[in-house]
Amino acid sequence: MAAALSSPLWLRPLAEHQASAALGRPVEIRRLRLRPGSPLLLTAEDVLIGNPLGFPPGEEPLLRIPRLTLGIEVGTYLRRREIVISSVELDRPVARAVSTADGRSNFAFDLGAGRSDGATFPKIGAMRVSGGHARVSLAELGAEFEVAVSTRDAVEPGDHAIRAEARGTYADQPMAATLLAGGLPGLGGPSGAWPIELHLTNGPTRATLKGRLQTRLDPRSAAFGLLLAGPDLALLAPLTGVPLPATPPYELGGKLDYSAGRFHFTDIAGRIGRSDVEGTLTVTRGPERPHLTAELHSRSVDLRDIAGLLGGGPGPPGTPGQTPQQQAEAAHTQREANASPRLLPDRPLNLPKLRGVDAHLTYRAERIQGRSMPLDNLTLRMDLVDGVVALRPLSFRVGAGRIAADVLLTPGESNTVQAKAEVRFERLDLARLMQATGTYQGEGALSGTARVEGAGRSVADILGHGDGALLLSMAGGDLSRLLVNLAGLRLGSALLGSLGGEARTPVECFVADLPLRRGVLSTRALLLETEDAVIEGRGIVDLQRERVEIRLWTKSKRLTVGVLPVPLLISGTLKAPSAAPDRVEGAGGGIAGALAALPTIRFGTGDDPRCDGLLRRMRQGPATGSDAPHGGASSGSGRR
């Protein structure tokens, strides 16, 4: 009689059937025994939980348990028809977790979700694991690691009664992790804070997660502190499932919680490269790709640290926390830039990989680092949807003025980017710009607009094939005769001789109207009026070849010693141009050449009476004098 009660023949097939239906995969039990009491003890030997139907054959089963013991509260079921499993003991369980390259896995469960019979999943109390072991293979994540699990009874609340250690590779990087947690709760077990502490290293990335689940096994009740550190945020992609841009080394901390399908990373504080970062970040799982929303702020930023939004990189040499590989890459990049005859950025824009996430970012920096940096602060809104990046606006404060841009970047074929940008220069403080040089001085407010539309793999490529226009104007103020040095042009005494006058030359009006066609800026109008002279420039700037050829003619308002009798020729590369008198015969043009363009000029911030006077005099016809040749066209009006 006792033997019949301890091992009823009908119980094992019934248990196999019920467990298979609940878990959605075959369950086999070699032997099943009952021991009456309170609670009732059920012991299953050689339990095998197989893989779901349709999973590739030949794989090891999900779980083998030599001995499984359950404590079942029979009285509770008889009184309330509620299944309560007071304890679960697993002796030497061996798990084999597998996900295939096409995304199928053998460890995804739907424990009673969507059941129509109104039944609830049993309440489960304390779990104990002795000598647990798991081998995990995740093909899509490049992961292969082993996990050892064991538990002990907690002496007091908050004790770490479970310990799991993992070793192997993740994302093809060495991985080591240690998880400490409170007594292992059950599915639907009793409420109560469950302490968790996780320490993870994955390659050079380090993460620490510490906090509590206020309701056991319910991620919606999570309240954790999270610390992240590593050489590159892009390395977090396999850990988070969110593709991130390449960055310099970072250290970030904050609070992590989960609600309504969203992970919230709040109270963020830390650094990326040499820049401090604060703010909040939210990640939501979408039907096609993750959705990221961030509001970030910096008190002080190095613009090179955020260049990774589009191009990526380890930052400049000497950035704190760089790995030896990043140090070598940064030094190599700087040597290449110094040795290259090119000036425009030619690093490929990396937009195609951004198709893996939709993002909305607002960012504000109170101060931009660098003694020679003329930009004071930065505000940015970036919307990334289906790989298309919209920067609306991207704004820099310059003294009392600002530079504001709307930029749209669309991925094209063969890793090209279709770009469309409109830039507004709103009363840029010339004193602030020239103060950045540390040597030259000036005063005035520069305004205007720039437009460009083109396609390419880099900024240099886009500008070298783009169409658009540049319009600048300034009325009043004064400037150093070496203003062009602000753009890195070392023109020397030749330009001094062209301008004449004092070191700081009062400006009546400056106008530049430069259309861009297939990468070539030409001078529809380039005029500068000072107290002593009117100067016209004509020529081209070839952005594809990065070559410049512009001639400046000077017409004196009064007798001035030292004004060049021939045009001044600015020529050479954008990175290292030169200036010298142009004595080549046929270098015609002169101030009269700009007359046809003058009626079309419109200023960005409204016409000014001082510029009106210049334009009115020029439209009336050229004054007599020998300083400005008449007729002819400037040589170099197209590509060579």
Q: Got the DSSP string for 223-240?
A: EEEEEEEES-GGGGHHHH
Cα distance between residue 367 and residue 378, in whole Å? 8
pLDDT for the residue numbered 625: 38
In this structure, is residue 354 part of a structural domain? no
| Domain end residue (candidates: 177, 192, 207) | 192
* pLDDT: which is higher, 304 or 591: 304
Share above pLDDT 70 across residues of the chain, in percent, rounded to a whole number = 74
pLDDT digits (tens, 9 = 90+) for 522-570: 998 888 887 777 788 899 999 999 999 998 887 776 655 445 567 778 8
Cα distance between residue 346 and residue 339, in whole Å? 14
pLDDT at 104 over 60: yes
Least confident segment among 59-63, 211-215, 276-280: 211-215
Cα distance between residue 1 and residue 6, in whole Å? 9
* pLDDT: which is higher, 168 or 235: 168
Instruction: Kindly indicate the confidence band of residue 490, based on its pLDDT and cuts at 50, 70 and 90.
Output: very low
pLDDT for the residue numbered 328: 84
Residue with tokens 């001995």: 67
pLDDT for the residue numbered 190: 46
For 329, the enclosing helix (H) or strand (E) is helix 324-339
In this structure, is residue 223 part of a structural domain? no
In this structure, is residue 142 part of a structural domain? yes
pLDDT for the residue numbered 238: 82
pLDDT for the residue numbered 155: 57
pLDDT at 67 over 90: yes
Q: What amino acid is encoded at 553 in this protein?
A: W
In this structure, is residue 348 part of a structural domain? no
pTM reported for the whole predicted model: 0.75
Instruction: Please say whether the beta carbons of 541 and 571 come within 8 A.
Output: no
Nearest CA to 50 out of 96, 87, 93, 90 is that of 96
pLDDT at 488 over 60: no
pLDDT digits (tens, 9 = 90+) for 230-241: 998 888 888 887
Average pLDDT over residues 390-407: 91
Instruction: Kindly indicate the confidence band of residue 617, based on its pLDDT and cuts at 50, 70 and 90.
Output: low
Q: Assess whether the previous peptide bond of 39 is cis (omega < 30° from 0).
A: yes
pLDDT at 211 over 60: yes
- Classify strands 291-298 and 358-365 as parallel, antiparallel or unpaired: parallel
Least confident segment among 254-258, 296-300, 472-476, 597-601: 597-601
The pair of structure tokens assigned to 20 is 């298979």
Cα distance between residue 198 and residue 211, in whole Å? 9
Instruction: Kindly indicate the confidence band of residue 442, based on its pLDDT and cuts at 50, 70 and 90.
Output: low
Exposed, middle or buried: residue 360 (CB in 10 Å: 0-12, 13-18, 19+)?
middle
Average pLDDT over residues 77-91: 84
Three-state DSSP class for residue 139 = helix
Domain encompassing residue 17: 1-108+121-192
Average pLDDT over residues 172-192: 71
Cα distance between residue 52 and residue 61, in whole Å? 9
Cα distance between residue 142 and residue 169, in whole Å? 7
Distances (CA, A) of 452 to 49, 324, 469, 501: 63, 39, 7, 37
pLDDT for the residue numbered 559: 54
pLDDT at 480 over 50: yes
pLDDT at 117 over 60: no
The number of C-alpha atoms within 13 Å of 405 and in the hemisphere containing its C-beta is 19
pLDDT for the residue numbered 218: 54
Average pLDDT over residues 32-50: 91
In DSSP terms, which residues pair with 552 in a beta bridge?
Answer: 537, 568
Q: Backbone dihedral region of 152: left (phi > 0), alpha (psi from -120 to 50 degrees) or beta?
A: beta
In this structure, is residue 207 part of a structural domain? no
pLDDT for the residue numbered 632: 35
The pair of structure tokens assigned to 257 is 């919680």
pLDDT for the residue numbered 193: 66
pLDDT for the residue numbered 500: 43
Instruction: Kindly indicate the confidence band of residue 174, based on its pLDDT and cuts at 50, 70 and 90.
Output: very high
* pLDDT: which is higher, 82 or 302: 302
pLDDT for the residue numbered 594: 44
Average pLDDT over the chain, rounded to an integer: 78
Instruction: Please say whether the beta carbons of 450 and 418 come within 8 A.
Output: no
| Domain end residue (candidates: 168, 192, 216) | 192
Instruction: Kindly indicate the confidence band of residue 496, based on its pLDDT and cuts at 50, 70 and 90.
Output: very low
Instruction: Quote the DSSP letter at residue 368.
Output: B
pLDDT at 3 over 80: no
The pair of structure tokens assigned to 482 is 């070496």
Instruction: Please say whether the beta carbons of 282 and 268 come within 8 A.
Output: no
In this structure, is residue 362 part of a structural domain? no
Core vs surface per residue 466-497: b (16+ CB within 10 A) or e:
bebbbbbbbbbbbbbbbbbbbeebebeebbeb
Q: What amino acid is encoded at 284 in this protein?
A: T
| Domain end residue (candidates: 192, 216, 247) | 192
In this structure, is residue 136 part of a structural domain? yes
Query: How many structural domains is the chain composed of?
Result: 2
In this structure, is residue 280 part of a structural domain? no
